[in-house]
Amino acid sequence: MELAGIVLSDNKQGLFVSRLENRVRALGLQNYSDYYRYIHDDVNNYERHHLVDLLTTNETFFFREAAHFEFLRELAKSSAGAFRVWSAACSSGEEAWSVAMTLADALRTGPWEVVGTDISRRVLAKARNAHYAMERIDGIPSAFLKRYCLRGIDREAGTLLVHKMLRERVRFCYSNLLQPRQDLGTFDVIFLRNVMIYFDNDTKLKVVRNLLPYLKNDGFLVTGHAESLTSLNCGLKMLRPTLYQRR
């Protein structure tokens, strides 16, 4: 899909068609041709963003790949100045909040900031709410649960809210990896995990090159374990699997 750069594998196409069929029916349209015209006439792009939601899975959880957060913790402790991290495909926010807890623990009152972006406005709204069902929080260390999370009571029982002290240092905004917004600044670390598996090599190269201007000269890019950049001439060197630094 041109808007998001997503390439659907054969086993994903059936799921997408099923979701799309439900959407066509919900809009009261007769067929896919009607839906195509509906999107074409959508001057506010609302339906195009809804279509992105149909395409994406948004599977994520807290502290996914614990070694990445150990690396982040040690790097932040050795840093000077404000430490900034970009969760570049943040989905519903679990990654960004995991980063925030790690930085708050490592730097305490030191200056730090986390930015989370995604192409799906629906999941961004959930990320901003910072409100999750308790069954989603298994990966959060118990000390962090006590320090940085509030357990819901009464009508909110069975849920968790990320503490205000973290919410004040994390911001979420819309951005497309194919055309990143220009107002983000530069970062010590960019997390781009488990999203490039949906791209072909040309799109992967474009996305990584798009992110390089936002990476500090000694900054790091973190990818998922199912992803590799070694075949791409993208200006990064691999320090170890999933961890890259500017050449």
CA distances from 186 to 91, 119, 140, 194 (A): 21, 20, 28, 22
Residues 51, 179 contacting (CB under 8 angstroms): no
CA distances from 152 to 52, 137, 142, 160, 182 (A): 32, 13, 16, 6, 37
Q: How far is CA 218 from the centre of its chain?
A: 22
CA distances from 219 to 44, 49, 52 (A): 37, 31, 30
In angstroms, the CA 229 to CA 204 distance is: 8
Residue with tokens 């075949």: 231
Extract the tokens encoding 161: 């809210």
Catalytic residues: 19, 118
Task: Count other Cβ atoms within 10 Å, centred on residue 206.
Answer: 18
